[in-house]
Each structure stands twice: as C-alpha cells, then as structure tokens.
C-alpha cells in the first residue's frame, strides 16, 4: 500500500497478505477506496510472490460478499471460505482486537483465503 500512496517500490512479500477489519466504505461512490477493489488487487499481485494469497476476514457481510465477487472477477481462486469462522473453527487463528470485540457481541466473523493465478 505504501507503493500506491507514496509511489515507492515495495519488496515482494514472502508469504501472503492478511487484510483484517478494514473500513467497509459502504457507499457505492466510495467503492474505489475498498481494499479489495481491483486497483488494490493489482498492487497486491505486484508485491506478492507468484500465486500469492490474500487472507481476508471481516464482520461486515456486505463487504465480505463484495470481496468474494471482486476476488472471483479478478480471476483469483477462493481456496477456503468461512461464513462463520468461530463456529467452523480455524486452527491457529490469531484474533485481532476488533475480531474479539465483535465476536464477543455475537457477530459472525467471515474469512476467505484467495489465491492469485
């Protein structure tokens, strides 16, 4: 993301990119600000290794559905999808502060692992 905002070249990441609890930008006119919008996917593809992955989780169903569609339209493979991460369980899941907060309120946490082709 530094590349996009400051015009600097970023060294390639060794693994994947984790995106957690970002602003959903729910209004249509703000779509280009969503971190799963095509222009951001272009950046991730550039800085991740070949066949790199994005691990994305959120409590916002609308953003999750948008992101699934965005990944699919970009030609990414949806390797795993959780519609209720905590009910389904994920070994080794590292909970963020927001994830714990929303989960404790009974909100569903969504997660996807998507891979570039």
Question: Considering only CA atoms, which of 78, 116, 101 is closest in space to residue 20?
Answer: 101
In the chain, beta strands by DSSP E: 17-20, 53-58, 77-82, 110-115
Among candidate residues 23, 42, 84, 88, the one labeled active-site is: 23
> Is 84 noted as a catalytic residue in this protein?
no
CA nearest neighbour of 53 among 29, 69, 76 = 76
Catalytic center residues: 23
């Amino acid at each position: 993301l530094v590349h996009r905002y400051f015009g600097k070249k970023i060294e390639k990441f060794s693994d994947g990119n984790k995106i957690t609890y970002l602003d959903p930008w729910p209004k249509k006119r703000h779509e280009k600000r969503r971190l799963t919008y095509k222009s951001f996917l272009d950046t991730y593809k550039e800085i991740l290794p070949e066949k790199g992955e994005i691990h994305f989780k959120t409590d916002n169903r609308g953003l999750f559905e948008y992101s699934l569609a965005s990944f699919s339209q970009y030609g990414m493979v949806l390797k795993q999808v959780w519609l209720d991460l905590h009910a389904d369980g994920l070994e080794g899941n590292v909970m963020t502060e927001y994830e714990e907060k929303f989960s404790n309120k009974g909100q569903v946490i969504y997660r996807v692992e998507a891979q570039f082709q």
